[in-house]
Structure 1
Amino acid sequence: MIPRREDAMKMMGDYDRRRLLTAGGALGVGALVAAGVSAPAQAESVPCAMNPSAPYHVGYVVPDIERAMHDLGRAVGVEWNPVRDGRLGDWSYRIVFSRSGPLYTELIEGPEGSPWDPGEGPRCDHVGFWAGGIDTCSRRLVEKGYPLDFDARPYGRPWAYHRMPGLGLRIELVDISIQPEFLQTWNPGGATMPPLNC
């Protein structure tokens, strides 16, 4: 007999439940609270935060950012920062990150024709990694057969998307040099995160 989800979760310890819910869900503390997992002690480290090959966020493209925030917040308790307006070239967009991480949850509402075109509806769009050097990391992904899908460097932004056909989404490489700005904007006082070793 297969145990019900609730029974299976009760049989696990808090550490195992945290790993299960954060490793694949990108939902962070909200998912833990919804599952009845106690918050980790301040001194306890989260394994994925120390892994240089772990992503720091999962990005979703959505046609209605407020609705997506409401739905995810109501369903699993994700707490959000204020939505910010942005511009890249000719595209205006709206963006928000969850308050806690890593693993942060990012929502982007962009216009038609932009890198965040929601024409096919909401979707999991990309997984974001800090890169020790955006130029080197991006070049190495191309050499390994993961083509550049969108490059923000010509717009003065140190990040790029690469297509990952086996996952059906993109990998976003973000230069580690802007991590202090990211933390100041989205999680003041948050812990620094390691970059990929490219």
Structure 2
Amino acid sequence: MIDLQRIHHTGVAVADIEQAQIHFGKALGLKWAPVRRFDPLPFWTPEQGTHEVHVKATYSLGGPNHLELVQGTGPFYDPGRLPDARHIGVWVDDLAAEAQHLLDQGWQVVASGAAPEKGFGLIAYMALPTPGLLVELISADLKPVIDDWLGE
């Protein structure tokens, strides 16, 4: 069962990560972790199957909930597309089991780090069939890497 006490971030797709840092930073008083490039990043979507995307991302510093800004290639990261990539990211200990639990309740996989038949990878974006908020399941295996990135 997903534990919302384990929300790590609220994410938003942006067209220009540097401009978004300035605007969100000023308005919300945020400081940012260094922007990281994932170039290329293995990605899976129902429309394209397994492919590569190019992503730049950062998180606000402080917490416990961070704001994540993501600029990437492909339709999933298009901030003008609805439903867009606004989401909450939640740590889970068994990503495949949590994804299957949601699938069994009628949710859909919108994107993931690997194809569903390969266990979804380390992240899986899940959605109800109706537009709205996405839930990003994040494998707890990534926690040390992200904590290091954020200096936590």
TM range (shorter): 0.7 to 0.9
Matched, 1:92 2:61: no
Aligned to 1:143: 104
Question: How high is the sequence identity, in percent, across the aligned residues?
Answer: 27
User: TM-score normalized by structure 2?
Assistant: 0.79
Q: For residue 117 of structure 1, report the CA deviation from its aligned partner.
A: 2.3
Cα distance in 1 between the residues matched to 2:96 and 2:81: 31
Aligned to 1:74: 26
Deviates most, 85-94 or 136-145:
85-94
Cα distance in 1 between the residues matched to 2:131 and 2:62: 25
Give unmatched runs, 5+ long, in structure 2. 43-51
Q: For residue 112 of structure 1, report the CA deviation from its aligned partner.
A: 3.1
Say which SS state the counterpart of residue 148 (structure 2) adopts.
helix
Greater strand share, 1 or 2?
A: 2
Q: For residue 88 of structure 1, report the CA deviation from its aligned partner.
A: 1.3
Say which SS state the counterpart of residue 60 (structure 1) adopts.
strand
Aligned to 2:78: 117
1:185 to 143, 149, 152: 149
Matched, 1:161 2:125: yes
Structure 1 residues 161 and 184: alpha-carbon distance in aligned structure 2, compared to 1, 3 A threshold: same
Say which SS state the counterpart of residue 161 (structure 1) adopts.
strand
Say which SS state the counterpart of residue 37 (structure 2) adopts.
strand
Say which SS state the counterpart of residue 137 (structure 1) adopts.
helix
Deviates most, 131-140 or 86-95:
86-95
Give unmatched runs, 5+ long, in structure 1. 1-51, 191-198
Deviates most, 65-74 or 83-92:
83-92
Greater gyration radius: 1
Runs of 4+ in 1 over 6 A off after TM superposition: none
Q: For residue 136 of structure 1, report the CA deviation from its aligned partner.
A: 0.4
Higher relative contact order by CA 8 Å / sep ≥ 6: 1 or 2? 2
Greater helix share, 1 or 2?
A: 1
Q: For residue 124 of structure 1, report the CA deviation from its aligned partner.
A: 6.1
Q: For residue 151 of structure 1, report the CA deviation from its aligned partner.
A: 1.9
